[in-house]
Amino acid sequence: MLKFTIFEKRREDLSKQLDKDYIVKNIAEIVKDIVDDVRTPTPPLPDLENPEVCEREYEEKNYKNRLWYSSVVVSFLRNMEKELYEELNPDERYWDMNVDYIKKMIAEIKEEENKSFFERKFTDIYQLTRFRPYHK
């Protein structure tokens, strides 16, 4: 009779453990489904008209190139961006302050003479932005 009660106890413990595991698994699936369905709104684009925001964005985006913000250089790049839009008529028209985007646009120019012009212009502007400002 003693053996029988030991097996009953083990069976009862196993049943409780399986029930607990089943409940935990189901709750985890429900939580995962809820989290997967959550959609956060897209954050607004930074206000690049604000000089402080523009400086921060420019230096963060161009850190790997070791470029420094200068309002004059950024205005040159913005003018160049507009000229490139006129040249290429792209679907996407947003420059996030990363100079690699400007380089990519120049590479898409088909006409060699125009491409060469933009490459020279970009190189000149690029050299200006490599100088570290005195206040940093």
pLDDT band at residue 14 under the 50/70/90 scheme: confident
Is 12 contained in some domain? Answer: yes
Is 61 contained in some domain? Answer: yes
The whole-angstrom separation of Cα 77 and Cα 55 is 13
Is 135 contained in some domain? Answer: no
Min mean pLDDT across 48-57, 80-89, 91-100 is at: 91-100
Is 11 contained in some domain? Answer: yes
Q: What is the dihedral of CA 105, 108, 112, 115, to 10 degrees?
A: 0
Residue 12 belongs to domain spanning: 1-39
30 & 66 share domain: no
Per residue in 33-78, pLDDT (tens digit) is 988 888 888 888 888 889 899 999 999 999 998 899 988 889 999 9
Contacts of residue 46, defined as CB under 8 A and 6 or more positions apart, other chains included, come to 53, 57
Contacts of residue 33, defined as CB under 8 A and 6 or more positions apart, other chains included, come to none
Is 27 contained in some domain? Answer: yes
31 & 10 share domain: yes
Is 44 contained in some domain? Answer: no
| pLDDT of the residue at 29 | 94
Token pair, residue 99, equals 């100079």
Which amino acid type is present at position 63? Y
Q: pTM value?
A: 0.62
80 & 56 share domain: yes
Task: Classify residue 76 by burial, with Cβ atoms within 10 Å: 0-12, 13-18, 19+.
Answer: middle
Q: Give SS3 for 25.
A: helix
For the chain, the domain total comes to 2
Three-state secondary structure of 40-59: CCCCCCCCCCCHHHHHHHHH
67 & 112 share domain: yes
